[in-house]
């Protein structure tokens, strides 16, 4: 049987890129394949990976979500600042030693998750019922949430002194960070949903051809809103893991995460025009970009260099995507 190397390369291109990055890292830095660096690399993948997973759902219905970066930190900020406010009002102690928060971990988790779902719902309603393009709707939401982050914190950080909360960002299970386990499990769950359930079939149908989906009797409005809710939920989970690792919440945190998430998703092969891609593809994009960013760290390159790469990648992938389809409704 003749081996088609061209087809193998096409089907597993990202895997070859990942191997190439690892080889370059091995030969250019003695620290690249150390346990500590590998742990840091996969830990750093979790938060942008969850955001990439979330925006993938929105991409698949041919929309875009730019609010995930600001939403990442908004949930924990809202939870901590609101409990601090009501603590002062009802005279129970929430803050110790200035801005150090030492109260309920469950409250932060619940409020963050509910906030992510609510913001996703508002985005979806604005797009489908308000007839606002997803780019404008989520851009406006992004700016509004950034403003609220500063208003709620008054420009000061809250430091989280809660062992029952911060362990999520620091614990390793079998040498693998807990946050990475959460990310992998959510990716597996999302893959099952998209491949084997009605949710996945509806989302792919809408992204493939929205007009045909409407004619087939699919409730496009409902499923697009669901896609935005799923994106908001993933962002809220990312925010919980992110703030628990840093043990702080502050308005400037997570700036630019939305573009990183978009880059991770599109590198994996999730189409900006809808209907093509999967949670697994977003995961592949995440590990490739995560390895590349780790390599940059080994070379002493900073965040600004990463931003240049992210910008170039987004431009190139969009150009390639436009060759296959018109840019659509984004």
pLDDT at 208 (0 to 100): 87
The model's pLDDT over 103-125, given as tens digits with 9 standing for 90+, comes to 678 888 999 999 999 999 999 99
Work out whether the CA dihedral 173, 174, 180, 186 comes out positive or negative.
negative
- CA pair distance 224, 127, nearest whole angstrom: 9
Segment 69-95 shows an average pLDDT of: 76
What sections of the chain are H helices per DSSP? 5-11, 13-28, 35-60, 68-90, 105-128, 134-153, 163-170, 178-196, 198-208, 210-215, 220-246, 257-268, 279-298, 303-324
45-55 pLDDT, tens digit per residue, is: 999 999 999 99
Q: 28-66, pLDDT tens digit by residue?
A: 888 888 888 888 899 999 999 999 999 999 999 999 999
Dist. CA 144–CA 197, nearest whole Å: 35
- Report pLDDT digits (tens) over 149-193: 999 988 888 888 788 888 888 888 888 999 999 999 999 999 999
Convert the pLDDT of each residue in 211-233 to its tens digit. 999 999 999 999 999 999 999 99
The number of C-alpha atoms within 13 Å of 67 and in the hemisphere containing its C-beta is: 38
- Beta bridge partners, 158, equal 249
Query: What CA–CA distance (Å, rounded) separates 1 from 311?
Result: 43
**How much is the pTM?**
0.90
Of 94-98, 200-204, 260-264, the poorest mean pLDDT is in 94-98
Q: What percent of the chain has pLDDT over 90?
A: 48
Give 219's contacts (C-beta < 8 A, 6+ positions apart): none
Cβ atoms of 159 and 101 within 8 Å: the answer is yes
Domains of the chain: 31-324 (1.10.3470)
Distance CA 66, CA 19 (A): 31
DSSP string covering 79-127, please? HHHHHHHHHHHHT---EETTTEE-S-HHHHHHHHHHHHHHHHHHHHHHH
What is the rounded distance in angstroms from the CA atom of residue 96 to the CA atom of residue 247? 15
Rounded Cα distance between 40 and 269, Å, is 25
Contact call for residues 134 and 127 (beta carbons, < 8 A): yes
**316 or 221, higher pLDDT:** 221
């Amino acid at each position: 049987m003749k081996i088609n190397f061209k087809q193998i390369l096409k089907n597993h291109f990202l895997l070859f890129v990942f191997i190439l990055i690892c080889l370059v890292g091995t030969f250019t830095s003695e620290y690249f394949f150390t346990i500590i660096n590998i742990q840091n690399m996969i830990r750093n993948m979790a938060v942008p990976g969850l955001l990439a997973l979330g925006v993938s759902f929105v991409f698949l219905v041919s929309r875009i979500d730019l609010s995930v970066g600001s939403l990442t930190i908004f949930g924990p900020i809202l939870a901590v600042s609101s409990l601090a406010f009501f603590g002062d009002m009802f005279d129970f102690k929430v803050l110790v030693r200035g801005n150090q928060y030492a109260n309920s971990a469950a409250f932060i988790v619940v409020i963050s998750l509910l906030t992510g779902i609510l913001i996703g719902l508002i985005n979806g309603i604005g797009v489908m019922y308000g007839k606002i393009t997803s780019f404008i709707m989520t851009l406006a939401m992004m700016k509004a949430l950034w403003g609220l982050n500063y208003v709620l914190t008054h420009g000061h950080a809250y430091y989280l002194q809660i062992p029952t909360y911060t362990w999520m960002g620091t614990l390793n299970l079998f040498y693998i960070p807990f946050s990475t386990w959460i990310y992998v499990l959510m990716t597996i769950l999302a893959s099952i949903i998209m491949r084997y359930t009605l949710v996945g079939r509806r989302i792919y149908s809408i992204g493939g051809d929205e007009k045909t989906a409407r004619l087939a009797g699919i409730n496009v409005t409902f499923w697009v809103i669901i896609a935005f809710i799923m994106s908001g939920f993933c962002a809220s989970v990312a925010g919980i893991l992110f703030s628990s690792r840093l043990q702080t919440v502050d308005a400037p945190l997570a700036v630019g995460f939305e573009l990183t998430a978009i880059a991770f998703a599109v590198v994996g092969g999730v189409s900006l025009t809808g209907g093509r891609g999967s949670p697994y593809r977003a995961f592949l994009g995440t590990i490739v970009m995560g390895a590349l960013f780790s390599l940059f760290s080994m070379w002493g390159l900073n965040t600004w260099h990463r931003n240049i790469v992210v910008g170039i990648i987004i431009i190139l992938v969009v150009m390639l995507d436009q060759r296959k389809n018109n840019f659509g409704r984004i």
